[in-house]
């Protein structure tokens, strides 16, 4: 097991495409990080991950945690995965979601509790894949997503904690059953880096 952990950092780029972008984000989002090894600010002791099933699955979260365990064994950083499948920041849900059993969860229903109970120093948030609710593009839905992201940012900064926004990974337009959705998904990968810089957002694209 120890030999596997020693080898894992070198294998990570092959295991997952999003990870290099995430680590680059860590390098560039915080002052003082070296180009060779990504690090987190000294004051960061608890990191919370929010998102939908992409986060809930835990794969990229585990990769990031393993990276820091192997690169910075002297630091005590707690990584908490609080992703929730099907969740959105827009509060939208399509008719018949989950076979009509329940609507999509809305992050803002639980966000205040999450921040109060976990007291994070840093939050990674990855939303957008579900926020178009797998329908053709609609400006009203896009505005709901933008508003949800702003509400998320306001709440996290007021906690207070730092926030890194992750764009959703690519939508599989071949395997997916919604061929129109790749174009909708591209909208949820906004704002552009220029817009993010203007409002002081830390942003990385996961592909």
Domain count for the chain: 1
**pLDDT score, position 178:** 72
**pLDDT score, position 18:** 46
Token representation of residue 117: 């109970």
Domain of 48, CATH number, reads 3.40.50
Tell me the percentage of the chain whose pLDDT exceeds 90.
51
Higher-confidence residue of 14 and 129: namely: 129
Determine how many CB atoms are found less than 10 A away from the CB of residue 31: 6
Q: What would the pLDDT profile of 81-101 be if each residue is shown by its tens digit?
A: 999 999 999 999 998 888 889
For the cut 60, the answer to whether the pLDDT of residue 31 exceeds it is: no
Q: What would the pLDDT profile of 109-143 be if each residue is shown by its tens digit?
A: 999 999 999 999 999 999 999 998 988 888 899 89
Q: What would the pLDDT profile of 182-201 be if each residue is shown by its tens digit?
A: 766 565 555 545 445 444 55
- Residues counted in the chain: 207
**pLDDT score, position 186:** 61
Nearest residue to 124 (alpha-carbon basis) of 31, 206, 67: 206
Q: Which residues contact 174 (CB under 8 A, 6 or more apart)?
A: none
- Residue range of the domain that includes 176: 2-204
For the cut 60, the answer to whether the pLDDT of residue 28 exceeds it is: no
**pLDDT score, position 68:** 92
**pLDDT score, position 6:** 45
For the cut 50, the answer to whether the pLDDT of residue 79 exceeds it is: yes
**pLDDT score, position 11:** 36
CA angle 126, 127, 129 (to 5 degrees): 120
For the cut 90, the answer to whether the pLDDT of residue 48 exceeds it is: yes
Higher-confidence residue of 145 and 177: namely: 145
Tell me the percentage of the chain whose pLDDT exceeds 70.
68
Nearest residue to 164 (alpha-carbon basis) of 91, 13, 55, 59: 55
């Amino acid at each position: 097991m120890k030999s596997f952990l020693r080898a894992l950092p070198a294998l990570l780029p092959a295991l997952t495409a999003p990870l290099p972008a995430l680590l680059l984000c860590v390098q560039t989002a915080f002052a003082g990080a070296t180009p060779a090894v990504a690090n987190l600010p000294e004051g960061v002791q608890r990191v919370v991950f929010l998102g939908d099933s992409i986060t809930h699955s835990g794969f990229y979260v585990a990769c990031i945690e393993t990276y820091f365990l192997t690169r910075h064994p002297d630091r005590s950083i707690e990584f908490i995965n609080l992703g929730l499948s099907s969740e959105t920041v827009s509060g939208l849900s399509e008719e018949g979601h989950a076979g009509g059993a329940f609507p999509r969860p809305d992050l803002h229903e639980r966000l205040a509790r999450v921040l109060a109970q976990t007291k994070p120093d840093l939050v990674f948030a990855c939303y957008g894949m579900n926020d178009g609710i797998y329908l053709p593009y609609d400006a009203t839905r896009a505005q709901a997503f933008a508003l949800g992201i702003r509400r998320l940012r306001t709440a996290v900064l007021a906690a207070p904690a730092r926030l890194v926004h992750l764009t959703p990974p690519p939508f599989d337009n071949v395997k997916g059953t919604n061929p129109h959705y790749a174009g909708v998904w591209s909208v949820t990968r906004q704002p552009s880096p220029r817009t993010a810089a203007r409002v002081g957002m830390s942003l990385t694209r996961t592909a």
